[in-house]
Amino acid sequence: MITHSVRHPVLLRATTPSLRHITALRSCRQPRRLLPSSARTMSYNTSIPAFQSLLSSLGPNSRILALCGAGLSASSGLPTFRGAGGLWRNHDPTSLATPEAFAADPALVWLFYAWRRHMALKAEPNDGHKALAKLAEVKGASGFMCLTQNVDGLSQRAGHPAAQLKPLHGNILTLKCSSPSCNYIEHQNTDDPLCPALAAAAQDYPPDQPIPLLDAATPLPEIKRADLPHCPACKASSASSSSLLRPGVVWFGESLDSDMLMGVENWIYRGPIEVMLVIGTAAAVYPAAGYVRKAKRRGAVVAVVNPDPAAAEGLGPEDFWFGGDAAEVLPALFEGLVGRIGE
């Protein structure tokens, strides 16, 4: 087994939402272009039949790597926070996704994540999730790996084989203790609301009625720390107090799971990669953005599925860009390999 060194990468925010810019992991130097200048051209391919032909021409031992972002779940009704202001009650969502924000105002952060949990539990996997899950089944563990930056759990609910799905940023339905000295973790908690104090985040309203929780002019409910979710393991071992539970997601400034990253690195360096799929993401957050470059170095044709034309920047004439909805594009791209989704 290849054992490349993994230095506990942390989740960093990039400054430019484009495939050709990535955030440097180790030295925090200025973003670099994804592809060399000789490859930057607008002559990329947009033909679905041409991509289908490419897939059909691949040998049985060919390998495909996918990197997925929030755009994959957009058709399921989940917001990406990247358009139309991208705010939650006038807060930049990334400002709430930090350990510092949780320490300063755990009630505010928990309301934000309780609302996201509610939205994720209401949503259903779309045909894009299902197409990727089916591709994983057809290609097998040696032939397909999916790296998802999404924390909504929809890929898992679509039946994506766990061994071929790497949730780089965790899962919003996972709970873990906020104390660094406690290892308590609970997977797939679907309680909604998670506790009575967070009930405001689990209420539904008619489409024509404003949602008080999302209206910055409406005061938030006052929530005491004691009423937030607490760690049962800490509570059992301490007669005085217990630590708060927190969402099982990777916040900005925190390290990603090193064992998971080592597994991804070993898979990448096991052989050539014929196709790199970049789905619903600007590939701007490191370390996920670096996987596109690594796949390209291993011979991959890059195929971007993203409605934003800026996502095509840096693609070469051998690459593909599809500007449609991933829920519609992916089933069409993979039909020759997986058949029709839903049949």
Which residues are annotated binding-site positions?
177, 182, 231, 234
Helix, strand counts (H, E) of the chain: 10, 9
Catalytic residue among 118, 169, 187, 230: 169
Buried b (16+ CB within 10 A) or exposed e, 325-342: bbbbbbbbbbeebbeebe
Total Cβ atoms within 10 A of residue 138: 13
Strand partners, 225: none
What is the rounded distance in angstroms from the CA atom of residue 314 to the CA atom of residue 36?
8
Query: What residues are designated binding site for Zn(2+)?
Result: 177, 182, 231, 234
Strand order in the sheet with 185-186: 185-186, 170-177, 245-249
Number of CB atoms found within 10 A of residue 257's CB: 18
- What whole-number distance in Å separates Cα of residue 224 and Cα of residue 229? 11
From the list 75, 61, 121, 81, the residue with the least C-alpha distance to 331 is: 75
Pairwise CA distance, residues 249 & 157, whole Å: 17
Report the alpha-carbon distance of residue 213 to residue 220 in Å, rounded.
7
Contact 185, 247 (CB under 8 A): no
Residues 6+ apart with CB under 8 A from 54: 275, 301
- Asked if residues 200 and 88 have their Cβ atoms less than 8 Å apart, the reply is no
How do beta strands 185-186 and 170-177 pair?
A: antiparallel
DSSP 3-state of 279: strand
Question: What are the structure tokens assigned to 327, written together?
Answer: 């829920």
Q: Is 169 marked active-site?
A: yes
Q: Would you name the residues annotated as active-site residues?
A: 169
